[in-house]
Every structure is written in structure tokens, then in C-alpha cells.
Amino acid sequence: MSFISKLRSGKFIITAEISPPKGTDTSRMLGDAALLKGIADAVNVTDNQRAAMRMSPIAACSILQEKGLETIMHITCRDRNRLALQSELIGAFALGIRNVLVMSGDHPSKGDHEGAKPVYDLDSVQLLGMIQELNRGVDLSGNKLDGKTDFCMGAVTNTELNEAGLLKLKKKIKIASFLQTQAVFDVKRFSEFIEKKSEIELKQSKQIKIIAGIIPLRSERSALFLNKVPGIRVPDDMIKQIKDAKYPEVEGMRITSDIIKELRTLCDGVHIMPVGNHEHTKKLLEMAGLI
């Protein structure tokens, strides 16, 4: 069953994040993919994440789909203008890619090519709108396409949003089919986000699926590092639990699987994005009772 069918069916979704290689050697990426095959409903393939140059997601997705994995191709507004975005998208569709995740993208100054020209010709809401047009069979200038796309569109969100952030979320909910969130550690705060999302759904008479981000905790150091990432907050008591544990990585797995268990009733799926590779992802999902 395809990702979109599973999403519609109400199955609790499992997605996992894979980074394309920094170079032409795909062996490590394929290693990760092998660990996820049969476990993840789809794998997310990042687009020069953190503005660090890597293989293009369209190439990486294509390689992964050949290996039998369904992909969700990330597409940021940072590196391409509206022509490049559209040609990339119709190319991706022709290659069998059916799901895209749209985001603004980290600014080039945060990455490994600091002097690169930031493009941002469109923002994430406008990009969603443009994909909607491609799905209708026309480009952004209104020209008819010879063969339309049929993308399942996702957007991203932080779960702690101020009023300005909520305003943008409303616009994303209008267009997208699913939302993938920044990593969740505080389930109570996440449930407050879900309440806000439900209010928007009610007002807009449109439902959206929520896939919660999960970053397995590994050590006190990694937890402290994550706390510096925009949109992530690891609660103090959780950091203490890891710090006091005899085997921090084991404790991290326990904490993370508990979070996933709690999230099952709150949202439509989880998105696993470990720091490093996916060697423990299967175990984590087993501990959470998902597989």
C-alpha cells in the first residue's frame, strides 16, 4: 500500500529520515535504507539539510525507490527559483516520486557554503500553492502541462508556535495533506499544539494528518545540543534522567519509546530522525510496540 493510501486509511504512520551522501558514494545511504526496508512506510530524503551541500534529493530518492523504498522528497525554497523548483518537481514525478515535503530551508549562512546566494524566490506556502497547480496540470504561469503531477504534499512545523507562526500554520493547513513536526520531547506541550491544530481544522473545515518528529536521545551532551536547535526543547527532568543513567543510550531508547507510545493516541504517525544512522530504529519501534 502506498504512503498516501496508508495516510488516508488511518494507519499509524512510520517515516524515517535519510540524508543523501556528501559525494557520489551511496553505500552508507543504502545501508540505512536496508535497515528501514519493511519497517518505514516511507523514507524522507533531505534537501541539503542545514544548508550543507549533498547529493540532490531527486537523485537520492530515485536510487532509493529502485531499491523498493517509497520516498518523501524534501524540497526547500533556498536553492532554486520557481523555474528550477517546477522542473525538479515534474522530473521527480516522472521518476516515480509521489510525496514531497516543503520547507523554507535553513539559510545558506548556517551551512558549508556561507557565501551562496539565498534564493527564496517562493516561500513554503507559495511553493505548496505551486505544487497544487502542477497537480492541476498547469505551471505557475498558467501554461498547460503535458502530463500533470499528483503529489501528496506535506509541510513542516514547530510545535511551539507564537501567534505569527500560527498564522503561517493556518496557511499550510489550507493546502498540505500532512505536517511533519520538529522533534517532540514534551508530550504535554505537543498535545497543546494538537488542540490548536484542531481549532484551525474546525475553522477551515479541513483535516490534516500530523506526523510527530522523533529524535532518539543518546546522551546528556546530545540532549543539551538539541536544546540549541530552533523549535526543539528537551525538558530538564529528561536531561537529568539521561545524565543519571548507567547506560545513557539504553535510557535514551526507553525515554524515546515511551514518548512514541504516548504520541500514538495524539497524532497520525511518527517520523524517526536519529543523529547518525538507523541501527537502533527497528529496536526503538519494537520497544514502542509499533512493529
Can residue 132 be called a binding residue for another protein (CB under 8 A)?
no
Whole-number Å distance between alpha carbons of 169 and 158: 9
At its nearest, how many Å lie between another protein and the CB of residue 180? 11
4/125 with CB nearer another protein:
125
Whole-number Å distance between alpha carbons of 234 and 190: 12
Per DSSP, the three-state class of 225 is helix
- 55 and 24 Cβ atoms separated by less than 8 Å: yes
The single residue among 60, 61, 156, 272 that binds another protein, judged by CB under 8 A, is 156
Q: For strand 152-157 and strand 269-272, is the pairing parallel, antiparallel, or unpaired?
A: unpaired
Can residue 11 be called a binding residue for another protein (CB under 8 A)?
no
Can residue 146 be called a binding residue for another protein (CB under 8 A)?
no
Listed ranges 21-29, 64-72, 116-124, 205-213: which one lies at the site for another protein (CB under 8 A): 116-124
User: Does residue 62 come out as left (phi exceeding 0), alpha (psi in the -120 to 50 range) or beta?
Assistant: alpha
Can residue 12 be called a binding residue for another protein (CB under 8 A)?
no
Instruction: Find all residues with CB under 8 Å of 211, minimum gap 6, and list them.
Output: 13, 15, 154, 178, 179, 180, 181, 267, 268, 269, 270, 271
The single residue among 7, 40, 72, 77 that binds another protein, judged by CB under 8 A, is 77
- 159 and 180 Cβ atoms separated by less than 8 Å: no
Whole-number Å distance between alpha carbons of 250 and 253: 5
Per DSSP, the three-state class of 28 is helix
The single residue among 9, 24, 147, 163 that binds another protein, judged by CB under 8 A, is 163
- Cell matching residue 225: 545540543
Listed ranges 64-72, 119-127, 196-204, 243-251: which one lies at the site for another protein (CB under 8 A): 119-127
Listed ranges 190-198, 204-212, 224-232, 265-273: which one lies at the site for another protein (CB under 8 A): 224-232
168/264 with CB nearer another protein:
168
Residues within window 254-283 making contact with another protein, judged by CB under 8 A:
none
181/281 with CB nearer another protein:
181
Can residue 167 be called a binding residue for another protein (CB under 8 A)?
yes
At its nearest, how many Å lie between another protein and the CB of residue 122? 5
Half-sphere exposure of 132 (CA within 13 A, CB side): 13
Binding-site string for another protein from residue 187 to residue 206, where x marks contact by CB under 8 A and - marks none: --------------------
Can residue 82 be called a binding residue for another protein (CB under 8 A)?
yes
- 183 and 226 Cβ atoms separated by less than 8 Å: yes
Can residue 183 be called a binding residue for another protein (CB under 8 A)?
no
The single residue among 7, 55, 122, 215 that binds another protein, judged by CB under 8 A, is 122
The single residue among 49, 65, 71, 157 that binds another protein, judged by CB under 8 A, is 157
The single residue among 121, 133, 201, 249 that binds another protein, judged by CB under 8 A, is 121
User: Does residue 111 come out as left (phi exceeding 0), alpha (psi in the -120 to 50 range) or beta?
Assistant: beta
Instruction: Find all residues with CB under 8 Å of 266, minimum gap 6, and list them.
Output: 187, 190, 191, 194, 212
Q: Which residues bind another protein (CB under 8 A)?
A: 77-78, 82, 103-104, 106-107, 109-110, 118, 120-126, 129, 140, 156-158, 162-165, 167-168, 170-171, 174, 182, 228, 230-231
